[in-house]
Amino acid sequence: MVEIFDGTPRDKFYDVLFNANRNLVEDELDNLLNSFSLMSEFCELNGFDVWANLNVTEIRDLSDLYIELTSNILSKNE
């Protein structure tokens, strides 16, 4: 099996995170945090308290997000 397919999307994300160009990683993390901030503000303006309604016992599968972030970093790291 090809090594790229070994491990979980989370494992691969962290491999890329710690080995890719630092500036690219910082930019991608800034974009992610900015998106979260905008969505949080939008929810707040529409009467939805993100933190009060966040159920920490309900963890979603983040595989798609890990794959997208990894892809974004790798595509700029060439």
Instruction: Report the CATH number at residue 15.
Output: 1.10.3350
Number of domains making up the chain: 1
- How big, in percent rounded to 5, are the helix, strand and coil portions of the chain? 65, 0, 35
Give residue-wise pLDDT tens across range 32-56. Answer: 999 989 998 998 899 888 777 776 6
pLDDT of 2 reads 54
Q: How far apart are CA 12 and CA 5, in angstroms?
A: 9
**Domain containing 28: what range?**
3-76
Backbone angles phi, psi at 65, to 5 degrees: -65, -45
Within 10 angstroms of residue 68's Cβ, the number of other Cβ atoms is 15
Q: Per-residue pLDDT averaged across 3-11, rounded?
A: 81
- How much is the mean pLDDT over the chain? 85
